[in-house]
Amino acid sequence: MEPVIGIIGGSGLYDIAGLEDAHWQQIQTPWGDPSDQILTGTLNGLRLAFLPRHGRGHVYTPSTVPYRANIDALKRLGVTDIISLSATGSFREDMAPGDFVVIDQYIDRTRLREKTFFGPGCVAHVSLAHPTCPRLSEIVAQAAETAGARVHRGGTYLAMEGPQFSTLAESKMYREVWGADVIGMTNMPEAALAREAEICYASVAMVTDYDSWHPDHGEVSISQIIETMGGNGEKARGTIQALPSLIPSTREVCPHGCDRALEYAITTTPDRRDPALVAKLDAVAGRVLGETK
């Protein structure tokens, strides 16, 4: 099977250059419109589908990003693996602004978002014990190093609701009590939905600031973030450019099972399933629901 790599670009990353056969496509989903059209094309033979998470021009707040539509649309385009690129604050002195952290865990503090494709009439419980894909994460770490980034392999991302930044008390609690490494507003429920859609997911947290806890750095501000994002954006683009030489042209099944996450996850018996919901799940769960519709 040929891999198709979905790239979800976060704050500051709204486009990618250099794709062959590039065109922006509007994809319709049963969950509404994605954040924007999706840019598809190939990069040195590797098929890519790029989606700006907040839309071109940065239209969607972290709470209003249409996460379900985004993941469904990428699945409809045949995406097998998603790489998220995100701006984050850091809770660790050694994860400094400009560094890249390849995330392996999340603490989800979001509360205003649709978190699952499933619901009454089709209940499913996937595992999130390991919410990112180790195989894809290692490839992304190598790509980022090729692009000249200082890379930390592994880190816990605290997903907050936003859009306001954290209070000092929250910042200290996430760092000292909860042991989070970085903080952002968007990776949840995105990572969880990718797992439900059986798509491998890796996330690069591009550190822009020390949030508010650091005695020598004051409190995070948007101007500080934008300033650091300039350099991060260059390394992010370099990371994407390095992918074709690191991703095999034939995709083997995921050794960690991301692409079979729904195998035993659907709990509702076939006779009790809601046909309308099952129809909406055609892209996300068609592989397992197909024969029982």
Ligand X SMILES: CSC[C@H]1O[C@H](OP(=O)(O)O)[C@H](O)[C@@H]1O
Ligand Y SMILES: Nc1ncnc2[nH]cnc12
Catalytically active residues are 209, 211
For position 186 contacting ligand X by CB under 6 A, the verdict is yes
- Token pair for residue 256? 């960690």
For position 284 contacting ligand X by CB under 6 A, the verdict is no
Instruction: Look at residue 211 and give the partner it binds from ligand X, ligand Y, none, a contact being a CB closer than 5 to 8 Å depending on partner kind.
Output: ligand Y
CA 42 to chain CA mean position, Å = 20
User: Do 236 and 166 contact (CB within 8 A), yes or no?
Assistant: no
- The contacts found for 63-66 with CB under 8 angstroms, 24 or more apart, are 63/110, 63/112, 63/113, 63/161, 63/162, 63/163, 63/185, 65/35, 65/186, 65/190, 66/31, 66/32, 66/33, 66/34, 66/35
CA distances from 56 to 36, 162, 163 (A): 7, 20, 18
For position 87 contacting ligand X by CB under 6 A, the verdict is yes
DSSP symbol at 175: I
Instruction: Look at residue 228 and give the partner it binds from ligand Y, ligand X, none, a contact being a CB closer than 5 to 8 Å depending on partner kind.
Output: none
For position 184 contacting ligand Y by CB under 6 A, the verdict is yes
At closest approach, how far in Å is the CB of 147 from ligand X?
Answer: 17
Nearest by Cα to 200 from 152, 242, 118, 139 = 139
Instruction: Look at residue 186 and give the partner it binds from ligand X, ligand Y, none, a contact being a CB closer than 5 to 8 Å depending on partner kind.
Output: ligand X
For position 185 contacting ligand X by CB under 6 A, the verdict is yes
At closest approach, how far in Å is the CB of 107 from ligand Y?
Answer: 13
Cβ burial, residue 217 (10 Å; 0-12/13-18/19+) = middle
At closest approach, how far in Å is the CB of 77 from ligand X?
Answer: 20
Nearest by Cα to 221 from 284, 166, 141, 160 = 166
At closest approach, how far in Å is the CB of 66 from ligand X?
Answer: 13
Q: Kindly tell me which residue out of 51, 83, 143, 225 binds ligand X, with binding defined by CB under 6 A.
A: 225
At closest approach, how far in Å is the CB of 62 from ligand X?
Answer: 4
Q: Kindly tell me which residue out of 70, 86, 156, 171 binds ligand X, with binding defined by CB under 6 A.
A: 86
Nearest by Cα to 22 from 34, 39, 7 = 39
Q: How many other CB atoms are found less than 10 A from the CB of residue 77? A: 17
Omega cis (within 30) before 189 = yes
Site for ligand Y in 207-246 (CB under 6 A): 208-209, 211, 220, 225
The region of 1-9, 114-122, 180-188, 274-282 touching ligand Y under the rule CB under 6 A is: 180-188
For position 156 contacting ligand X by CB under 6 A, the verdict is no
Q: Flag whether 33 is marked binding.
A: no
Q: Site for ligand X (CB under 6 A): how many residues?
A: 12
Site for ligand X in 6-65 (CB under 6 A): 10-11, 53-54, 62
Q: Kindly tell me which residue out of 40, 84, 88, 156 binds ligand Y, with binding defined by CB under 6 A.
A: 88
Number of H helices, E strands in the chain: 7, 11
At 147 the three-state DSSP class reads coil
Q: Footprint of ligand Y on this chain (CB under 6 A)?
A: 87-89, 160, 165, 183-185, 208-209, 211, 220, 225
Residues that bind ligand X (CB under 6 A): 10-11, 53-54, 62, 86-87, 162, 184-186, 225
Binding residues: 11, 53-54, 86-87, 185-186, 209-211
